[in-house]
Amino acid sequence: MSEHHQLADQARASCLAEPACLERLLALLDRYCAAHAVDAQCRHDLRLVVEEACANVIAHAYPADAPGLMSLQVESTRCDGRPAMRITIEDAGIPFDPLALPVPVRTGPVEHLPIGGLGVHLIRRLSDLQRYEHDLERGNVLTLTKFLAPASPASRTS
């Protein structure tokens, strides 16, 4: 179990779990990362894990003709004493733990390789901590933590 200490600010957005929602959620993440001077590689990785997690919700959480709400929360935090970004994605759809999916096979003849399952693999590899819970009030709650590189001495003193 990791210890989180929430810092001052967070950003949150909710919308219907539809493809058009994804751009809005990614824009929220981009603005938050820019405001917190997150370095380019962490921004890339955070964008990718948020896209993958949100795309899963959009595709699978609700019936296609009846999308429900989903939300994204981004917060600057400290986890085990290290600066980190914590991403929380919630939906009230079908209970589903994406972290229970097996790691996709990537060896053997290309003809036999499955096309799916890569998104969760990337989430696991490009974030540092992952946690799923199903809450009776909040529904599916996926929490992803990405450690940030420590600030350089120059930026700490500026």
Partner 1 sequence: MEIEITERDAVTVVAIKGSVDSLNADELTSAFAKPIKAGRVRMVADFSAVTYTSSAGLRSLLATVKDCRRGGGDLRIAALQPQVERVLSISGFTGIIKIFPDREGAVGSFKAVA
C-alpha span between 114 and 155 (Å, rounded): 45
Minimum distance, C-beta of residue 121 to partner 1, in the bound complex (Å) = 7
Minimum distance, C-beta of residue 58 to partner 1, in the bound complex (Å) = 8
Minimum distance, C-beta of residue 78 to partner 1, in the bound complex (Å) = 26
Q: Measured from the CB atom, is 100 or 110 closer to partner 1?
A: 110
Q: Measured from the CB atom, is 58 or 61 closer to partner 1?
A: 58
C-alpha span between 97 and 82 (Å, rounded): 27
Minimum distance, C-beta of residue 3 to partner 1, in the bound complex (Å) = 28
Q: Helix 40-60 to helix 118-126 angle, to the nearest 10 degrees?
A: 150
Question: Which helix (H) or strand (E) covers residue 29, if one does?
Answer: helix 19-35
**At a CB cut-off of 8 Å and minimum separation 6, what does 65 contact?**
none
Token reading at 121? 């693999």
Q: Measured from the CB atom, is 126 or 144 closer to partner 1?
A: 126
Q: Measured from the CB atom, is 6 or 27 closer to partner 1?
A: 27
**Can you give the binding site for partner 1, defined by CB under 8 A?**
19, 22-23, 41, 44, 47-48, 51-52, 55, 58, 106-107, 110-111, 113, 115-116, 118-119, 121-122, 125-126
Token reading at 11? 């950003």
